[in-house]
Amino acid sequence: MKGVSYEAVMARKGEIMRSAVGMDYSLFESGSIAFDYEALMRAPGLTLEDVIRIQRNFSIGNTPLIELKNITELARKCAAPGKGARIFIKDEAANPSGSFKVRRAATSIYTAKKLGYKGVISATSGNYGAAVASVCAMAGLKCIVVQECYDSRGKGQPEIIEKARKCEALGAEVVQLSVGPELFYVFLRLLEDTGYFNASLYTAYGILGIETLGYEIAEQFRAREGKDPDMVVCTNAGGGNLTGTARGLKKAGCAAEVVAASVNLKGLHMASDAQFNKKSFTTGHTGFGMPFSTWPDRSDVPRSAARPLRYMDKYVTVNQGEVFYMTEALATLEGLEKGPAGNTSLAAAFSLAQKMDRDQCIVVQETEYTGAGKHLNPQLSFARKNGIDIRFGDPKEEVAGRNIILPKHPSLLQAREVDMAHLRASLIKNALQAHGGKYTEEDLAFLAEETKTDTEFVLRCIKEEQA
């Protein structure tokens, strides 16, 4: 009988994952830092056309592209003369489960059923759980969602509780846990005990599913405006959203600038019980965005297919109060009530558009559904109950975990650029540390691709690291 202690289960995680994903990751390895990323992406054997067909069978995709004329005008009032790009939004809340994540769920569930799995398990506290539950219901497969939900006092954020409700409404069994290492342990045990498929956010199946979103943006924008968008802004957490969207844009031959946007939660530790309920965003924030950008393989599969630094042209952050402000602006100015987490990229776009010319166009890559717990009012009320000071003022004075500052004027909302060179150097450092500081010529070329730079940059970073 196999041991069920934490140490015993963790020792078997590679074996459990291989069985649960239906893919042998060793086929892509070089024995060093480098691995064959494109071979990993080809392994599912699905073309873009195949994925589009799969998603259409689940009534997924072809979501509306909407111009935000009133928000654009507000941005222009805050911009210098001649500035203020037109802002568009891809309304992914129109998908069956209410978010873009159903795209990545469709390819995973399709594969699970094709391979003969009887059910699917997903570990997520976000919209992905509802996405997996929705597609499993359509495919006739069992579904279990493992959710990090509560702190040690049994208190859960209203946004996460709402997502649990949504998953259960769509037929999933929801396993709710407290913050900490037990999530991955329980997840592994469930995979092993049930023999279900791991619908990970980080497999090639999932990233291929998001490629259709980038492809649709390019095709819809061309049909509407007769040109490509100048910029596409993607909310960034684990990196799959940006990776898949950018790959889809590339497959459409679209050279739009790809910008990552995350909520700034600097100073809060994502695995801290005491800090778990001090944040008002469960995804799309720097607690995921930074570490997963600089070391993608921290995910629940041996090699993550979500590798955002390969595709990212710029990374910006916005504060919690700024996202809540734009959530309200979207509802009152455009008549579109959407969940706050999906408006992270909108808050960034509002600021970025003011630095662009008026004849340029920026696409906010996704929206998400809203509901009782996801609405900004219960989230702000919960924050206040947890000792967070909420007020109007200058967002630059916001300190995550201490206060939430709503801009007292829209001109105060500012997307702040992240040092991309630092992020790229961090990825190179992490790769070296993971492999004992040794590297080959193949590794240099691989790291240049990973960081969207060149071998000279990689060698310079290695030299600085080893100095």
Q: What is the mean pLDDT of the chain?
A: 95
375/427 same-domain check: no
How many structural domains compose the chain? 3
Q: Is the pLDDT of residue 180 over 90?
A: no
Mean pLDDT value of segment 143-171: 91
Q: Tell which of 156, 181, 204 closes a domain.
A: 204
Residue 187 in any domain: the answer is yes
pLDDT reported for residue 1: 67
Helix axis angle for 48-57 and 204-225, nearest 10°, is: 90
Please give the pLDDT value at position 2: 84
Q: Which two tokens stand for residue 48?
A: 């873009």
Q: For residue 294, how far is the Cα from the chain centroid?
A: 14
Same structural domain, 114 and 262:
no
Q: What does residue 198 show for φ and ψ, rounded to 5 degrees?
A: -90, 105
Residue 400 reports pLDDT greater than 80:
yes
Assess if residue 394 is contained within a domain: yes
- Same domain, yes or no: 197 and 337: no
> Residues 150-174: what's their mean pLDDT?
91
Both 344 and 199 in one domain: the answer is no
Q: Which domain holds residue 365?
A: 60-95+207-417
Give kind and range of the element (H or E) at residue 461. helix 455-466
Q: Are 77 and 44 in the same domain?
A: no
Same domain, 36 and 155: yes
356 and 243 within one domain? yes
Examine the domain organization and report whether 120 and 135 are in the same domain.
yes
- Chain segment 260-307, per-residue pLDDT in tens: 999 999 988 877 888 888 998 888 999 999 999 999 999 889 999 999
Which CB contacts under 8 angstroms, 24+ apart, belong to 44-50?
Answer: 44/107, 44/111, 44/204, 44/205, 44/208, 46/107, 46/205, 46/208, 48/208, 48/211, 48/212, 48/215, 48/248, 48/251
- CB proximity list for 226: less than 8 A, separation 6 or greater: none
Q: Edge-to-edge, what's the strand order for the sheet holding 361-364? A: 65-67, 86-90, 361-364, 231-235, 257-263, 314-318, 416-417
283 part of a folded domain: yes
List, for residues 99-135, the tens digit of each pLDDT value: 999 999 999 999 999 999 999 999 988 899 999 999 9
C-alpha 409/C-alpha 412 separation (Å) is: 6
Half-sphere exposure of 419 (CA within 13 A, CB side): 5
Gap between the Cα atoms of 201 and 240, Å rounded: 7
Residue 1 lies in a domain: no
Is the pLDDT at 427 greater than 80? The verdict is yes
DSSP letter (8 states) at residue 303: S
Q: What is the mean pLDDT of residues 363-375?
A: 92
To the nearest 5 percent, what fractions of the chain are helix, strand and coil?
A: 50, 15, 35
Same-domain status, 48 and 195:
yes
Provide mean pLDDT across the span 61-80.
98
**Contact 61/331 with Cβ under 8 angstroms?**
no
What average pLDDT does the segment 315-321 reach?
98
Query: What percentage of the chain reaches a pLDDT higher than 90?
Result: 83
| 47 shares its domain with 77 | no
pTM of the model: 0.96
Query: Do 219 and 343 share a domain, yes or no?
Result: yes
In a shared domain, residues 334 and 438 = no
Lowest model confidence (mean pLDDT) among 34-48, 126-140, 305-319, 370-384: 370-384
Closest CA to 312 of 222, 249, 360, 228: 249
Contact 172, 129 (CB under 8 A): yes
Any idea what the CATH number is for the domain that residue 370 is in? 3.40.50.1100
